[in-house]
Amino acid sequence: MKQIESYRHKKILVLGLAKSGVTAAALLHKLGAFVTVNDKKPLSENPEAQGLLEQGIKVICGDHPIELLDEGFELIVKNPGIPYFNPMIEGAIEKGIPVITEVELAYEISEAPFIGITGTNGKTTTTTLVYEMLNEGKKHPLIAGNIGTVASGVAEAATNENAIVIELSSFQLMGIETFNPKIAIITNLYDAHLDYHGTRKEYIDAKANITKNQTELEYLIINADQEETMEIARHSKASIIPFSTKRKLAAGAYIQDGWIMFNHERVMEIDEIALPGVHNLENILSSMAAAKLSGVGNSTIQEVLRTFTGVRHRLQYVADVNGRKVYNDSKATNILATIKALTAFEAPIILLAGGLDRGNEFDELLPYLRNVKALIVFGQTAQKIELVGTQAGIKIIKRVDNVEKAVPEAYQNSEQGDIILLSPACASWDQYKSFEVRGDIFIKAVHKLK
């Protein structure tokens, strides 16, 4: 860790705890700052805040008193989940108090370079693939951000022998000033988190922050198949490495004659790749490009891609049950994610779908249900998804109480060679605490079948 002096004797407010707030507060305290922590959860129900109090850090819990901003803070480190229209943040900006997220803090103290990955879909898979390729290539990577440990905690332990591979959300990227990854990846851009950002433009601008401090000495790996991502590239000062699943490129990562290519070099045949799905080719091309730029050889990349079958809950291969291949895509909390899952397979699909009703319809699924031979629905949206299934001409449609009961029902309506796919197209919160809990229950039910 770099022993920086820029925070010594500086009065800093850490707003919102969770893992990132706790780590940031403790780190700033070590760096000599006068730290105040403010969290909405009452102190009696807040073991994280109690732990910081024991370290001698000032803690204010129970609400976010706006008058706290009158105490002369020079900086606010906010939890990424707190939106910028929060009164505390709006008040800080009005007073001219800088607001950052702990990713910025991580960058300032890190001895290791960063490989930053953002985008709407594919961030976690791409981050994991980059990490696995660098790890297999003995490049000593560490993984951080939304997928792993809090970035500033990882940066504290990193040396210049490491590389920090970090998944970055738009929420985190809005709060950076100097953060500058050696390699940045933008996987793709679609509508997301508009309740937080307000507009698509603000969302895209936040994603573009990943490259705002890059120079020609750094690399931006960018999706060449989207106009909005290429617009970001046109405004970036980085060395641009495009990737495309649709066409041959003059340079960069692309597909040609059944091979994944990098700068006109054949790296691996697509048929040898274990990870299913056309959409995953974007993740594979971008992660392969990052690995090549990091000095990883083709044989290492091939080994990873031959064995990597997916991130947990993201089109994760679970098991073969009497000739039925079973996949857990519980992370598919929206229609677009389920469309990507449905297009990943050519075999007949038994689809398990449903969950929290956000008021939307599911008509967008219609063109992609042609390969679905049976539909098992559950949750608040069961009736809506049943209706779309009927319109699609699916002959077998069953409604069950929950995911656990959906699994044996799916098996009973399947035969050898079929795909049993949990891809809900909905959030989990009507029945489950998180998509991870929903996916774990699905996996347990599948293993009961075996």
* Known binding-site positions for ATP: 119-125
For residue 265, give the DSSP letter. E
Q: Dig out the tokens for 388 from the structure.
A: 């779309």
Provide the pairing of β-strand 253-256 with 259-262. antiparallel
Number of Cβ within a 10 Å radius of residue 307: 11
d(CA 219, CA 324): 42
What is the C-alpha end-to-end distance of the chain, expressed in Å? 49
Percent of residues in the chain assigned helix, strand, coil, to nearest 5: 40, 20, 40
Known binding residues are 119-125
Give 44's contacts (C-beta < 8 A, 6+ positions apart).
Answer: none
Closest C-alpha to 80, from 127, 150, 142, 154 = 150
d(CA 199, CA 414): 43
Q: Which residue has the tokens 């991870």?
A: 436
Return the H-helix or E-strand segment holding 328.
strand 324-328
Provide the pairing of β-strand 419-422 with 396-399. unpaired
Task: For residue 424, give Cα distances in angstroms to 238, 329, 361, 403, 436.
Answer: 38, 8, 13, 10, 12
- Cβ burial of 257 (10 Å; 0-12, 13-18, 19+) is exposed
Provide the pairing of β-strand 396-399 with 324-328. unpaired
